[in-house]
Amino acid sequence: MAPIDPHSYTDSGHPLATHIALSLYFDFPSSTIHGAATLTLPGPHTGPLSLDTRSLTIHKVLCPKTLTPLPFSLSPPPSDPIKGALLSVSLHNHASLLLLFSTSSSSSALQWLSPPQTFRKALPFVYTQCQSIHARSIFPCQDTPAARIRYTAALNVPRQLSAVMSARHSSRRDPSPDDAVAGFDGFGFDLKSMWCGEGRAVEEFVMEQPIPPYLFAFAVGELGFREVGPRTRVYSENVPEVLESAACEFAGTEEMMRQAESLFGVYEWERFDLLVLPPSFPYGGMENPRMVFLTPTVIKGDASGAQVVAHELAHSWTGNLITNTNNDHFWLNE
């Protein structure tokens, strides 16, 4: 047994999770997320399972069927400055495990914006950047491109906000007591009541195609959108001038997709939506499947910003479908 990636604790002798079911409660005042993650393995496993974490509080690890605690250990501080902390869980013929955790306000994957940092300066905003090894600061996972996972996610957010993800949106509804997994009482505070609190809404998403963890992405804020093609919406903060400018800049996206399909084959991800983020987004673009993230600086007013969109679209085949095995070879992605 040995690490399969020099930037991950994932062990070659351990099974790779195939699915993660996430329930995430967004606490904007504290810039934290309280979450439950059920990891499903290919089959029953006995022995340790190594997971990557960074700046996470692990409250409990449970058997999802019986809710009995599973023994676990977290490497003591100081954690590795690059890899973070190793979470080792002891399994005995288990094919799944339930992890209860909270993020830190210093999560390397999460950018929390106060209202004055947004376009409208009225409501807060949060977005992710998981490339290349930052998903581990949102939830415990095997944070290497060698691991490809499907996922479902229920995001509990303030009602005046909405969410998008690198996944198919399936519903927006009121919270229900049935949403709260039984393990929610393992946090040391009343997350069950918080989940169903007044003024909250639940956004549900499904990702049916397996992706490496670095492509996990979401954004939560006061969002609006414009349709620019049969497979593309442009999202941004709900500011008409930003939405209209973005819709004009990226009006040719469908033709671009048809040209790409003539070169590379069928576009496998169903939709190619675009999210224009606040100016603090540190990249030109990020190729999250189904929901590309873009900086507003690519909106030039003459459609030349579509060059960035073309680059991210190309990743739909080279990167998102065919991915480097580990982070040592991430240069191949570009």
Residue numbers in the known binding site for Zn(2+) are 311, 315, 334
Tell which residue, 214, 243, 1, has the closest CA to residue 108.
214
**Alpha-carbon span 54 to 87, nearest angstrom:** 10
Helix (H) or strand (E) holding 89: strand 85-102
Query: Alpha helices of the chain — where are they, by DSSP H?
Result: 191-195, 240-249, 253-264, 306-314
Dihedral class, residue 188 (left if φ above 0, else alpha if ψ from -120 to 50, else beta): left
Q: Which residue has the tokens 């799944």?
A: 96
**Beta bridge pairs of residue 94:** 45
Q: Binding site: what residues are annotated?
A: 311, 315, 334
3-state SS assignment for residue 107 = coil
Is residue 83 within 8 A of residue 135, CB to CB? The reply is no
**Alpha-carbon span 134 to 114, nearest angstrom:** 22
